[in-house]
């Protein structure tokens, strides 16, 4: 990867230029001969568009089929930002296990991501980010890069100009405190006694989203222990005033929530000195048991890297040596997050997405016309059936009587299945003619029942928990980065509604409540907010197909507003794109950005579901997909179109650029998928007129 300077000023992107004449490559299945599109300026006629779409669809099908694992799953790289790589090196330094090969490979990747202004961004083309730049800089210092080297001096000058380490987020300063580069007493207090708060009490651990919960519990131990390992060098160059590296932060007014919680934190610092040692030791041991009980079979925690890192540190501080089975398995699991590249660089994935990628690939291939009994689809279904979570997890704290039956995102994550994956897996399984239909029906029935049981009070669905909407966690001084709660979102609710409609439950009162919520959540401009994908294009691309599947006609006012919005933000080149800054500066960036394959596909999926098959907007979008496809059947997409935390943590799912364009092309060539689902395993879509 090369450094980029795009986006450092935050200027609005220009509309992309019109597509030039494009060559379509040979398809390995049909043997069609390469030819250029014959329309003026490279935009084909209607019949030419369909021909080009068919060729692109077949090539994309071949590309995706060739990348299935022998066990039946698909998984693309999950790219985030260099804090994953920096913190991996800091962990190894803290534990005394950092080696030269890993350090050299990680540093190679981190250097390659540095922008020309000396900074590191959190997404492709994004602005430099202070905490990310600090962590990357420290990692390169560990790797031996001299502070006066040009690339390092440029980075440290930029950091100082923006307030230095004192202005970094709490998580960054925690990592620095581990080595004495920051004072523990100048960090928010996080007492391990939180583990004892009952579920009805404010700020109990189940008030936090599952990802935050898994991180906070081990960090209570770290906060209580306040360890310091000897720093291998100073970081004076990252302070505005090295003689006063920990300047006090001003308090917010007392009458505000921020001011109240800041004063509560100061009180907790005083309480720390008088907490009985026996109580604190018992709380840390209870937290440790909580952590160990949630370790997955592969040694990880929740299938995501940050909780695993902090859990390893916490247990190490409590005396678990590196050869303890829990620690050994945990460290081995972290190694599996590493992606070694051809140039010798080592990138750390924050998470791995095989269930998500596999269900989306199955849907794409089926909608592209692959037979329902195709061996590779059956193999994918077999693998997905084996991944169903059949034991209770943390979600059962709020739903103790609900039988399990969901699917998680990762290879191993039995504690935290999610409603989004569950809905999409059911939609994928319905597209496959499996050799054991009874097993399929049992699995689908459990999944549907579990998702119905996870509906929140307002009629919508969050990803991992029910009614995870407390206002308090976001107010804590500790929580200055990313989302820490999991409220219902339009994209997740839409996927669940679509699944319920396909299962014949469009008129079920629970489905209708979800539909009512979605209609109420539509923005004034006709779009929907996207929580787990970027952003309004993703939200709209999720909701419109769901409402259509549930029976709303294309003439429904909500769908007409959505169509009008999508048409209004289509780029000049025919594609769609949206920059992550739409989470930060909505008015300027909503639906705006360089065209990407995945976002163009989301827009097309919505337009096709709304009955716009013959519209000019669809024709131009399909033409853009066909024209930008590479000869091997893939698309290039360096942009980040996935979301972990809106704005704060962004994701480039490397398979998004394949599965969503193929889905859109297949639905354009073959028509909407809902009417053909009953031909697979017996699910019958429920199409109704109006709402």
- Tell me the catalytic residues: 420
Residue 669 Cα to chain centre, angstroms: 30
Q: CB–CB of 180/230 below 8 Å?
A: yes
Q: CB–CB of 502/677 below 8 Å?
A: yes
Tokens of 164: 């230095």
3-state SS, residue 643: strand
Residue 642, φ and ψ in degrees, nearest 5? -110, 160
Q: Which of 395, 398, 528 is nearest to 457 (CA)?
A: 398
Residues 6 or more apart whose CB falls under 8 angstroms from that of 474 comprise 483, 484, 485
Residues 219, 287: Cα–Cα separation, whole Å: 10
Q: CB–CB of 113/82 below 8 Å?
A: yes
Tokens of 633: 């059947």
Residues 73, 64: Cα–Cα separation, whole Å: 11
From the CB of residue 631, how many other CB atoms can be counted at a distance below 10 Å? Answer: 11
Kindly provide the residue ranges of all beta strands, DSSP E only, lying in 335-483, ordered along the sequence.
338-340, 346-348
Collect contacts of 100-104 with beta carbons under 8 A, ≥24 apart: 102/346, 103/142, 103/143, 104/143, 104/344
Measured CA to CA in angstroms, residue 404 lies from 302, 408, 417, 499, 662 at distances of: 17, 12, 9, 18, 32
Q: CB–CB of 435/378 below 8 Å?
A: yes
Longest dimension (CA), the chain: 80
Residue with tokens 């160990």: 292
């Amino acid at each position: 990867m090369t450094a980029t300077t795009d986006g450092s000023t935050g200027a609005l992107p220009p509309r992309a230029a019109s597509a030039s004449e494009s060559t379509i490559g040979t398809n390995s299945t049909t043997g069609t001969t390469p030819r250029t599109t014959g329309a003026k300026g490279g935009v084909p006629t209607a019949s030419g568009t369909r021909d080009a779409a068919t060729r692109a669809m077949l090539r994309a099908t071949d590309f995706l089929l060739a990348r299935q694992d022998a066990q039946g799953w698909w998984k693309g790289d999950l790219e985030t930002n260099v804090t994953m790589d920096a913190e991996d090196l800091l962990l190894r330094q803290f534990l005394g296990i950092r080696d030269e090969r890993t350090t050299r490979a990680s540093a190679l990747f981190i250097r390659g991501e540095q922008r020309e202004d000396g900074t590191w961004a959190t997404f492709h083309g994004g602005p430099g980010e202070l905490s990310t730049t600090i962590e990357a800089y420290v990692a390169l210092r560990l790797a031996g890069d001299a502070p006066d080297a040009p690339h390092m001096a440029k980075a440290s000058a930029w950091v100082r100009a923006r307030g230095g380490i004192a202005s970094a987020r709490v998580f960054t300063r925690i990592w620095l405190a581990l080595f004495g580069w920051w004072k523990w007493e100048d960090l928010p207090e996080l007492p391990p006694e939180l583990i004892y708060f009952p579920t009805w009490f404010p700020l109990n651990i189940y008030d936090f989203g599952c990802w935050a919960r898994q991180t906070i519990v081990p960090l209570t131990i770290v906060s209580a222990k306040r360890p310091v390992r000897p720093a291998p060098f100073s970081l004076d160059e990252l302070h505005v005033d090295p003689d006063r590296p920990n300047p006090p932060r001003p308090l917010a007014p007392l009458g505000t929530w921020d001011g109240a919680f800041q004063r509560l934190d100061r009180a907790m610092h005083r309480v720390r000195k008088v907490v009985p040692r026996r109580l604190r030791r018992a709380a840390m041991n209870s937290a440790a048991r909580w952590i160990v009980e949630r370790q997955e079979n592969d040694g990880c925690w929740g299938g995501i890297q940050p909780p695993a890192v902090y859990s390893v540190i916490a247990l190490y501080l409590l005396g678990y040596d590196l050869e303890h089975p829990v620690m050994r398995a945990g460290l081995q699991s972290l190694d599996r997050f590493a992606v070694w590249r051809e140039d010798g660089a080592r990138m750390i994935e924050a998470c791995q997405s095989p269930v998500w990628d596999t269900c989306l690939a199955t849907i794409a291939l089926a909608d592209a016309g692959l037979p329902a009994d195709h061996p590779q689809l059956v193999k994918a279904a077999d693998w997905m059936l084996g991944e169903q979570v059949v034991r209770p997890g943390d979600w059962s704290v709020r739903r103790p009587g609900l039988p399990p039956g969901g699917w998680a995102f990762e290879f191993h994550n039995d504690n935290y299945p999610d409603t989004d994956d569950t809905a999409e897996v059911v939609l994928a399984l319905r597209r496959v003619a499996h050799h054991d239909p009874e097993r399929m029906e049992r699995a689908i029935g459990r999944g549907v029942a579990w998702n119905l049981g996870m509906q929140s009070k307002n009629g919508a669905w969050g990803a991992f928990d029910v009614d995870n909407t407390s206002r308090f966690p976001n107010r804590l001084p500790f929580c200055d980065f990313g989302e820490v709660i999991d409220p219902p979102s339009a994209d997740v609710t839409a996927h669940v509604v679509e699944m319920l409609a396909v299962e014949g439950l469009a008129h079920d009162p629970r489905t209708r409540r979800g539909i009512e919520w979605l209609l109420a959540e539509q923005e004034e401009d006709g779009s929907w907010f996207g929580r787990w994908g970027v952003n309004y294009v993703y939200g709209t691309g999720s909701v419109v197909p769901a409402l259509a599947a549930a029976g709303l006609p294309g003439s429904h006012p909500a769908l007409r507003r959505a169509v009008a919005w999508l048409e209004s933000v289509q780029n000049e080149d025919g594609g769609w794109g949206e920059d992550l800054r739409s989470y930060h500066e909505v008015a300027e960036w909503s639906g705006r950005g360089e065209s990407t394959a995945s976002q163009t596909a989301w827009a097309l999926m919505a337009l096709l579901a709304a009955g716009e098959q013959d519209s000019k907007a669809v024709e131009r979008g399909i033409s853009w997909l066909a024209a930008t496809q590479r000869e091997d059947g893939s698309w290039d997409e360096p942009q980040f179109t996935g979301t972990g935390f809106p704005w704060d943590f962004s994701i480039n799912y490397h398979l998004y650029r394949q599965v969503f364009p193929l889905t859109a092309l297949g639905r354009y060539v073959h028509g909407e998928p809902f009417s053909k689902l009953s031909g697979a395993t017996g699910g019958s879509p429920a199409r109704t007129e109006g709402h």
